[in-house]
């Protein structure tokens, strides 16, 4: 991965975390990096998204396109920075984040998350300081959480719909059969 650009993209999420200071006080249970099964406090997507299934065929080409975006090309920060090369949620930034990045290797957790939910979080972010017009009050209600912001930003302004579905295909391919 091209480290210079990636670090630049990281400044914003890390600044958000730093600015929240002591008030960024999520319960520690959300902080464990790479845990499986994961404790997941992520807001549920609107039903208009939840019902969607991946329109792309699971071809090697689509998965490879998802891999390129995940590992290197997605801007402003490629997914690998937080979710890790293997998708285990242990990227270089993970230790600084609360909640921790999702562990895509954790099959038992990932099986319960519908395609449309994955799509929604990639497009809209998960409680990011975000597009109010597009995400409404998403950051206000996060059950079980005392803080409102996560490092998972919205990529809707950077990725096409097809690219997001390619990422969903790739993420699904990372699940570890034994978890």
- Interacting residue ranges for ligand HEC, rule: CB under 6 A: 13, 40-42, 74, 77, 79, 81-83, 93, 97, 99, 101-102, 113, 117-118, 121-122, 126, 150-152, 155, 167, 171
User: Treating both helix axes as pointing N-terminal to C-terminal, what angle do 60-68 and 161-173 enclose, rounded to 10 degrees?
Assistant: 100
Are 6 and 15 contacting, i.e. CB atoms less than 8 angstroms apart?
no
Helices (H) and strands (E) in the chain, counts: 8, 0
Distance from C-alpha of 141 to C-alpha of 166, rounded to nearest angstrom: 29
In angstroms, give the least distance from the CB of 153 to ligand HEC: 7
**Nearer residue to ligand HEC within complex by CB, 39 or 60:** 39
In angstroms, give the least distance from the CB of 113 to ligand HEC: 5
In angstroms, give the least distance from the CB of 171 to ligand HEC: 6
Distance from C-alpha of 129 to C-alpha of 176, rounded to nearest angstrom: 32
DSSP, residue by residue, 38-60? PP--PPPPPHHHHT----S---H
**Nearer residue to ligand HEC within complex by CB, 121 or 177:** 121
Distance from C-alpha of 62 to C-alpha of 80, rounded to nearest angstrom: 18
In angstroms, give the least distance from the CB of 80 to ligand HEC: 8
**Nearer residue to ligand HEC within complex by CB, 1 or 61:** 1
């Amino acid at each position: 991965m091209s480290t210079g650009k990636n670090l630049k993209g990281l400044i914003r999420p890390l600044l958000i975390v730093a600015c929240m200071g002591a008030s960024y006080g999520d319960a520690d249970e959300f902080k464990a990096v790479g845990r499986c099964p994961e404790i997941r406090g992520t807001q549920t997507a609107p039903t208009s998204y939840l019902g969607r299934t991946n329109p792309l065929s699971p071809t090697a080409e689509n998965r490879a396109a998802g891999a390129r975006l995940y590992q290197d090309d997605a801007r402003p920060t490629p997914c690998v920075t937080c979710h890790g090369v293997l998708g285990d949620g242990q990227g270089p930034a993970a230790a600084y984040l609360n909640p921790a990045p999702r562990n895509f290797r954790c099959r038992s957790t990932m099986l319960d998350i519908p395609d449309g939910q994955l799509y929604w979080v990639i497009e809209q972010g998960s409680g990011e300081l975000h597009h109010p017009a597009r995400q409404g009050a998403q950051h206000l209600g996060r059950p079980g959480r005392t803080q409102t912001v996560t490092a998972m930003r919205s990529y809707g302004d950077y990725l096409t719909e097809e690219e997001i579905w390619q990422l969903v295909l790739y993420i699904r391919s990372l699940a570890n059969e034994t978890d």
